Amino acid sequence: MQQVNTAKWNRYMLIRYLDSGIFFVGLYWGVMLFATTDSLVALAAPASEIALGAIVLLEVNRVLTHDIEYLRASHVALIIGCFLSVLEIAITAVFGKEAFFPFFSTPVVGIGLCAILLALKALIVWRIVLVRDRRDKKRYGLYLKALEHAGQRKGE
């Protein structure tokens, strides 16, 4: 049974690692913004990244302990997060670094950070779709082998 859990755990590894990156970037961004501005509206952007990271993390942990594969809430939350990242890029481009990144020397750095977050979210969505459609051939194949092996051991 341990092999089945390990194989299932490996299917979601990239999602977990990229999501933790989003979570900690949001946390760092929020702390830096909290220290440099009084605007509660500006704090909504990093708070959304932290919340997004928490949603994905909790759902991945739920999937690992239950017999489901599709991260439905994470998929929807990440798509919304992509739109928020595009909005953050646009606001930073129009209003400058003071909107969300008063601690950077230039707004280009903030736009780059939002673009990286957007790319990470898109990559996680792509991986969620691969797992949902069982097109992650290598990881899904190992998962099936572990299931077959566990089924044979139960019959012995």
Domain boundaries, the chain: 2-155
Per-residue pLDDT at 5: 66
Per-residue pLDDT at 54: 96
CA dist., res. 63 & res. 43, Å (int)? 30
Q: What is the full per-residue pLDDT of the chain (156 aa) written as tens digits?
A: 566 666 677 788 889 999 999 999 999 999 999 999 888 888 999 999 999 999 999 999 998 888 888 899 999 999 999 999 999 999 999 999 998 999 999 999 999 999 999 999 999 999 999 888 887 776 667 666 776 776 765 554
Per-residue pLDDT at 21: 96
Long-range CB pairs of 132-141 (<8 Å, 24+ gap) are: 132/69, 132/70, 132/71, 132/75, 134/69, 136/11, 139/7, 139/10, 139/11, 140/11
pTM of the predicted structure, to 2 decimals: 0.85
Count the Cβ atoms, other than its own, within 10 Å of residue 53: 22
Per-residue pLDDT at 4: 61
Per-residue pLDDT at 84: 96
